[in-house]
Structure 1
Amino acid sequence: MRPFSRQSATRAAAASVAVVAMTALSACSSDSDAADPASESVTAPEGSYPGVSASGEPVKIGLINNEGGQAVSQPQNREAAEAVVRYANDNLGGIGGRPVELVECKQGEEPASARDCANQMVESGVSAAVITTTGMGDVMVPIITGAGIPYVAASGQSMAELTTENSFLWTGGFPASLSAMAATASDQEMKKVTAFTINVPAAVSGLEQLGVPAFAAAGVDLEVVPIPMGTPDATPQVSAGLASNPEGVVVVGEETACTSIFKALGTLGATAEKFTNASCTAQSVIDAVGSAMEGAQVFAATDTTTDNPEANLFQSVMQKYAPNTETGGQTPVAYQGMLGLFRATESVEGTDTSPAAIISAIASAVDVPTPAAEGLAFTCNQSALPPLTSICNKGSIILTIEDGQMTDPRVVN
């Protein structure tokens, strides 16, 4: 086997950072500056705490989190998943009436530790493996599903996650967001849209391989303009992308890229409709670019900041079971991934909580309410967004930025 070189490790880390950033397309909160439920009174939806305690022999469920690595470390994701387990064991009867016992593994968003975590799931005999956010899906999926264990996440980016049998993704993530953007552009009678994106494989290939065909099918031409990572002033690239007079622009990236691109759009006086991802709604971006983001439409698969039952449940669970955990960033994605498993396995009864029983329950569940996403529901019958057979829900939530706040959630299926 060829050794994994320092150069290869650097490339993998950079790609992993980008993929985790792309996962923010399926989240929608205002990063660490979002409202902290621990400091506010949150009213949970009626019936949220029925007090049905789990009992008996525990069910082992794996939890793999991107934590402790040099490039990415998000302990808040693990804390959110742990909070859901405590909530479900106290109130939802766990799985099949039995309490869930987490088998946790932290991987540093590089192949060696990701492979180790996947192997640990197999060796520990977990009934399912829940992954928070990762750029290492291609490494972990074959090991986990190859052992007959379901691979579960709120969303995925790699082709292994998106297409492998017994990989289940509650939301459509980046592909679904691109599809919703294309449909919205068509509804607004646009003919040309320019996408400004951070120049990393996860973002560029996603736009070129999934976005361009989706927009074309909607009768819209999509031009992709990559912008190098760390570019402090994207005005030259943005100016070139606006030369064709697009009716709409898409901004994809992490906080630095979002700030640079939106500042350039403001400087150039761009009047095109703006579509973006949730990473661009971090408070640092909004503070930096100000009015240049006004009216931007945010495409996501969670909504935890507006006042609806699912958002209130998220805030309530986090306040009760993880009061010191940040509720922005990818925290809702981890919450969504874990609570989705409990909801998808409500049909499990008795002593059989084997991986096969979990897979059967997930595959037969219909219109399961998607956690932290009021109005969305998932069904894992491989038909939501073909040929991406692992995706269980193609819907998106669109919010509009007004005065620095996300408002007016609209569900698009």
Structure 2
Amino acid sequence: MHSNRVLFRALTVLVVASVAAAGCGGTSSTETTTSTLTKPPITIGFLNPSGGPVPQPGTDTGVQAAQSYINGEFGGINGHPIEVVPCDTDTTPEKAQSCANTFVEKKVVAVLDGYNLSSSAALPPLTAAQIPLVGMIPFDSVTGAKPENRVFFAAPQASFLVGALQAFQSEGKKSVTLALVDTPSSHQTIDTLLPALSTALGIRAKGIYFSPTSPNFTAVASAIAKDNPDVGGLVAAPSEAVCTALVKALRQLNYQGEIFTAACTDYIKDAPEQAAGGALYSSNWLPTAARYAPPEVQSDLAIAEKHIAAVEGGTAGYYAYGEFALLVNLAKALTASGATASVTGADVLKTLKALKDFPSFLGPKITCGSATSPNCTTQMLLFSVQPDGSTKPVTDTWITPAAQVLGAIPGAV
């Protein structure tokens, strides 16, 4: 599925120097404002999708920014600073499993999933060690199919596709053609899920693939425009560059339908007038939608934007804000539970599974602990791009995808 910026400096202390395990490491979370936090730290792992054919550099930015905020203004977790142990992944199961083994050795109490395509490979060692996997959206369909030892604060991937198609249908759209990067996990979406949704929702939905290593977006745009669908675009975007390239190619072909860009936003800043009329989805509020957000969300967006912008060489975008929200949600939940440095992975899992009507950061109220799903909500937002570059929600409330449709998808509800 589915992309927005030196750490905030007041007083800085080096809290994590490196990850010693071979092949693991990363540039994440090394300096934070912890001078007033003298209690022992709480250590958290981070599966950082920095390599491979589908990297997500914004996740690292979001974690750095959130750690700065939590150990600074937020005051840590009941006065305990958080230390983040990053480990770089590259979409391969072997790398994810190697990182999981490192986290077990480091005795972390939870592991952040940075929108990894192979996070399920990390689950066996983490589950054996009673270390929960915590994320926003499970990009690995195997991870998203069961609730054991994992909690995801946002909706499942299926919700975004179902919710968007529902909204398009309500607007009178009758046909949709969407592209997705060709990876093993993509085939469940294109080959199985999309046809099922097409039948269930009564909208003609077609999926096509593009290469993860050498995509030809002129060809992708031609394949989309060929049938002149009412909506054309992406199921999910591996990078902002993909969105920009596809939008440009569709405009060059004079495609007149609505362009759907998954969770991308950068292309809007480059050419807002050209982007106007397009659509994108999100699991949380975005800075481009701040003027339409409730006051409390505007305040949270200002916090996230300040710290994300302060990350040296950072990548701001959907994944940065999503990962910022992930770590803040975890910190808020553990703080409310009274957690200290003696907290265990089992304690963390119990705390998260017990969340009820929890006001998530930049997201809806969530309730976790479903017997069939790792996700704490099915709600999502769909935005329409305005001529001034802002993104306006298409509905007055969060979109809740049809339960009867999601019910046929393992782990969705």
TM-score clears 0.5? yes
Q: C-alpha separation between the residues in 2 aligned to 1:131 and 1:329? A: 15
State the 1:119 CA deviation: 0.5
Q: Is the 8 A contact 1:304 1:315 kept in 2?
A: yes
Which of the numbers 298, 304, 310 marks the counterpart of 1:314?
304
Change beyond 3 A, Cα 1:412–1:70: closer
> Once the 2 structures are TM-superposed, how far is the Cα of residue 226 of structure 1 from its aligned partner?
3.1
Q: Which residue of 1 aligns with 2:293?
A: none
Are 1:231 and 2:216 an aligned pair? yes
Q: CA deviation at 1:370?
A: 2.8
Match of 2:345 among 331, 345, 355: 355
Q: Taking structure 1 as reference, are residues 381 and 238 closer, same or farther at Cα in structure 2, changes over 3 Å only? A: same
The aligned counterpart of 1:338 is 327
Q: Which moved more, 1:123-132 or 1:395-404?
A: 395-404
Q: Per the alignment, do residues 227 and 404 of structure 1 end up closer, same or farther by CA in structure 2, a change over 3 Å counting?
A: farther
Q: 1:94-133 residue pairs with structure 2 within 5 A? A: 94-133=76-115
What residue number does 1:159 align with? 141
Deviations 1:322-368 (A, max 9, x none): 36533236322321221121123233226551111111111111222
Superposition TM-score, scaled by structure 2 size = 0.75
What CA distance in whole angstroms lies between the structure 2 residues aligned with 1:179 and 1:105? Answer: 33
Give yes or no for contact 1:348–1:357 (8 Å, CA) kept in 2.
no
AA of the residue aligned to 1:160? V
Q: Displacement, 1:296? A: 0.8
Residues of 1 paired with 2:117 and 2:185: CA distance? 9
Label 1:224 to 1:292 Cα distance change in 2 as closer, same or farther (>3 A): farther
* Residue-pair matches, total: 357
Question: Which residue does 2:358 correspond to in 1?
Answer: 368
Alignment CA distance shift 1:365-1:96 (3 Å): farther
Partner of 1:170: 153
Task: Give the whole-Å Cα distance in 2 for the aligned partners of 1:103 and 1:196.
Answer: 34
Q: Matched residues in 1 for 2:121 and 2:334: separation?
A: 26
Match of 2:399 in 1: 412
* Cα drift, residue 97 of structure 1: 4.1
CA RMSD of aligned residues (A): 3.3
The DSSP-based 3-state class of the residue aligned with 1:122 is helix
Provide the residue aligned with 2:258 in structure 1. Answer: 273
**Which amino acid is the alignment partner of residue 358 of structure 1?**
V
| 1:286–1:404 Cα contact (<8 Å) kept | no
Which is worse superposed, 395-404 or 191-200? 191-200
More helix by share: 1
In structure 1, give the amino acid aligned to 2:173.
Answer: M
Match of 1:81 in 2: 63
Which whole-Å deviations, capped at 9, do the CAs of 1:353-406 have from their partners, x for residues lacking one?
111111111111122233244xx23221227xxx5x111122212222223623
1:401 and 2:385 are equivalent in the alignment? yes
Structure 2 Cα separation of the partners of residues 227 and 60 of structure 1: 39
Q: CA deviation at 1:223?
A: 1.8
Q: Distance in 2 between matches of 1:318 and 1:263?
A: 28
Q: Aligned partners of 2:248, 2:81: CA distance in 1, in Å?
A: 50
SS in 2 for 1:196: strand
Distance change >3 Å, CA 84–CA 286, structure 1 → 2 = closer
State how 1:120-269 maps to structure 2 within 5 Å: 120-162=102-144, 163-172=146-155, 174-228=157-211, 229-234=214-219, 235-242=221-228, 246-252=229-235, 253-254=237-238, 255=240, 257-259=242-244, 261-269=246-254
Query: Paired residue for 2:12?
Result: none
CA contact (8 A) 2:222 2:250 kept: no
**CA distance in structure 1 between the partners assigned to 2:197 and 2:89 by the alignment:** 33
Q: Distance in 1 between matches of 2:181 and 2:309?
A: 34
Match of 1:186, SS state, is: helix
Q: Which amino acid aligns with 1:140?
A: A
Q: CA deviation at 1:165?
A: 0.6
Distance 1:74 1:273 in 2: 26
Unaligned runs of 5+ in 2: 9-33, 291-297, 401-413
Correspondence for 1:57: 40
Taking a change above 3 Å as real, the CA distance of residues 390 and 142 of structure 1, as seen in their structure-2 partners, is: same
Describe the SS at the equivalent of 2:63. helix
User: Alpha carbons of 1:70 and 1:249: their partners in 2 closer, same or farther (altered >3 Å)?
Assistant: closer
Offset, 1:72: 5.8
Matched, 1:380 2:368: yes
Aligned mates of 2:243, 2:83 — CA distance in 1: 39
Q: Report how far residue 200 of structure 1 moved.
A: 3.9
Tell me, in whole angstroms, the C-alpha distance in 2 between the residues paired with 1:209 and 1:259. Answer: 27
Per the normalisation by structure 1, the TM-score is 0.75
Is residue 375 of structure 2 the alignment partner of residue 391 of structure 1? yes
Amino acid at match of 2:130: G
Q: 2-side partners of 1:214 and 1:202: how far apart?
A: 17
8 A Cα contact 2:68 2:307, kept in partner: no
Q: Residue deviations 1:259-313, cap 9 Å, x none?
A: 554345434544433333123x333x8748x765320111112313333222212
